[in-house]
Amino acid sequence: FNIWYDCNHALYDSWISYHDYIKNLLPTIKSITNINNKLIADIGCGTGRLSSLLLREITYAYLCDTSDIMLKGAKKRLSSFPDSKYKIILSNTFNLPFESNSVDISIEGWSLSYCIQDLKLWDKLIDEMLRILKIGGVLIIIETLGVGTEYPNCTSNLLNSFYSYLSNNRNFNFIWTRSDYKFDDTSQAILYSNAF
C-alpha cells in the first residue's frame, strides 16, 4: 500500500482535488461536532486534505501518516497556513504518538480500509483512536460507501463488515453524505478511475 501511494503521490493529490466538488465534507463534519478552537489529530492524513479544510476554524492539527512522502505533500498543501497551526508526524495508526486524553477530535479519512485486513485488530485500532480523545471528544471516521452510485452502496464485504462492527459493537452513529467527483473530461475520469 505505502509503496504504491509513495510512487503515485502526485497523481493521488491531483485526483482528490476533484473530489467533493459540491463541498459537502466540511458542513457534514461541522454537523457532527463543533470544530471551533479544537485540537485535532488527523489520522492517516495523506496529503493533508482534511486538515486543510479544518485549519481555518480549529486551534491546531496534528497530521499523522505512515508515509513520509505523503506527509511532504501535506506540508506543501498546508504551506499557506502558519507552522504554528499544525505539526506533521510520521506515525502508525495502531500506536499514535499522543498521551491519553489529549485531543478534542480524532478524524480519519479514507485510510482505515488499509488497516482492517486483520479482524482481530479492529478493537485495537478503534481503542487507540479513542484513547487519545479528551472526555467528551469525538472520533470521526470517513470511508467510502460506494462508487458510481447516488446512494450508499458499498460493494466491499470487508468494509461492510467493518461498518456493522462500528455500529453494532462500538455504538458508532452512522451518517452519509455525497462527495462526488467532477472531472474536466472523460479521458481524465478514465485516467483516475484506472489508477485508483
Model pLDDT for residues 36-66, shown as the tens digit of each residue: 999 999 999 999 999 999 999 999 999 999 9
Dihedral over alpha carbons 149, 151, 28, 18 (to 10 degrees)? 10
pTM: 0.91
More confident residue, 140 or 8: 140
Dihedral over alpha carbons 128, 90, 191, 147 (to 10 degrees)? 10
pLDDT of residue 90: 97
Please check the confidence at residue 3 and state whether its pLDDT lies above 80.
no
Nearest one of 148, 67, 175 to 114, comparing CA atoms: 67
Cα 90 from Cα 168, distance rounded (Å): 32
Cα 105 from Cα 98, distance rounded (Å): 13
CA atoms within 13 A of residue 152's CA, in its CB half-sphere: 10
To the nearest 10 degrees (0 to 180), the angle between helices 157-168 and 122-131 is 50
Cα 135 from Cα 104, distance rounded (Å): 8
Q: How many CB atoms lie within 10 A of CB 51?
A: 26
Q: What percent of the chain has pLDDT over 90?
A: 72
Please check the confidence at residue 9 and state whether its pLDDT lies above 80.
no
Nearest one of 31, 44, 193 to 112, comparing CA atoms: 44
Cα 134 versus chain centre, distance: 20
